[in-house]
Amino acid sequence: MKTVLVSRIDDADALRYTAELARELEGLGHDVALEEGTAKHLGAEGIPFEKIAGDLVVVVGGDGSVLLTVHQMKKQVPVLGINWGEVGFLADLEPDEARAFFAAHESGFGVERRMRVSLSVNGELLGDALNEGLVVTDRPAKMLRFGVYVDGTPAERFRADGLLISTPTGSTAYAMSAGGPIVDPQIEGFLLVPLAPYMLSSRPHLISTGRNLEITLETEKPAHLVIDGQSSFELEREATITVKKSDQPALFARTDKPFFEKVNHKLRNL
């Protein structure tokens, strides 16, 4: 099995753990490689994110490390997250669980597909999000005006500090903090969560991926679209954002931990 290891590079213990895990996986017969940034901090040769290929990518880090890996990979490879962060909704295993997992799955593992959203602005594709696209103003304390159109029909118009365009996977991230619902990741839909809306009647919407969804900025105020916290794009005034289901879902190695059990455990231990 060809396995690529990625570690957060700002934590010496995480890097040390990654080096030890690499040796153990080699002992189990894995063909192990290191991501370029990780390798540099371990004094070894590595491969850049965009050239990652193989059977499995093991990420030692928090949700940000997993998002960065998924965001940077040119072609999606199954990811297994080992939590070296705060909460780790995208990291199924704790560090002391990883060795037993690999020992029990020497012959392979199941793969779970997680929907991503493709975000285009005025017809130009900007990228895919596993968690969310965030639209926010450049000017603090200034509100934006949004229009939501479903299959060409006006569905909502509101003023808010910003808007989250989230996937079901992202429903346990920023969207949850902003008052959105927890959504089963097996559901395929677009979750829209206004940030601090002016009217209490402006509520989150969950919209089927089978519908045509467009969001318009109906304001002269400057704004940005931030994708998974990894890349940011300046939006033109009165821009139109088209939201579609991505052709490339994120892939995750199955660990047989039920989603709602994991959510319950992590939320109770924040």
Instruction: Give yes or no: 11 in active site.
Output: no
Nearest to 176 by CA among 88, 267, 110: 267
Q: Annotated catalytic residue: which of 55, 63, 151, 161? A: 63
| Tokens 């000017």, residue located | 139
Could you give the CA distance from residue 160 to residue 162 in angstroms, rounded to a whole number?
5
Could you give the CA distance from residue 61 to residue 171 in angstroms, rounded to a whole number?
20
Could you give the CA distance from residue 55 to residue 47 in angstroms, rounded to a whole number?
15
AA identity, residue 197: P
- Please, are residues 154 and 194 in contact by the beta-carbon 8 Å criterion? no
* Residues labelled as active-site residues: 63
